[in-house]
Structure 1
């Protein structure tokens, strides 16, 4: 399982982020506080406060691929 802190800055970024998640063959979740949603659900993503950071949880061991695909959203 891989966890990364991410920021999704705009509506078009939500669409791109969701599209990237959909290409993974594993569970992809976004968490914010006590809330967790399926990152492959665009409505789930929009239910979160996008002005704050989120935690992406990818149920995969391919850390390199996750870092590559989500590089523009990951907060260092």
Structure 2
């Protein structure tokens, strides 16, 4: 399992992130504080507070999805 910190600033970012996550055949969770959402759920992510830095847990590996994570990564 790998963990990354990301920031999604707009609905378009969420759409791109969910599209990339949906192509993966493993579970991906996204959370902050105690709110845990399936990263493949666009409505779930849009219901989160997108002003926060989000943590992503990947339970597998996919090079294309890793590029998407790097695009939204927080230093």
Same fold (TM over 0.5): yes
Q: Which residue of 1 aligns with 2:73?
A: 74
Per the normalisation by structure 1, the TM-score is: 0.89
**Structure 2: 5+ residue stretches without partners:** none
Q: Secondary structure at the match of 2:12?
A: helix
Q: Which residue of 1 aligns with 2:19?
A: 19
Q: Secondary structure at the match of 1:15?
A: helix
**Structure 1: 5+ residue stretches without partners:** none
Q: Which residue of 2 aligns with 1:28?
A: 28
Q: CA deviation at 1:47?
A: 1.4
Q: Which range is displaced more, 66-75 or 30-39? A: 66-75
Q: CA deviation at 1:75?
A: 1.0
CA distance in 2 between partners of 1:69 and 1:50 (Å): 17
Q: Which residue of 1 aligns with 2:48?
A: 48
Q: Which residue of 1 aligns with 2:9?
A: 9
Aligned residues: 74
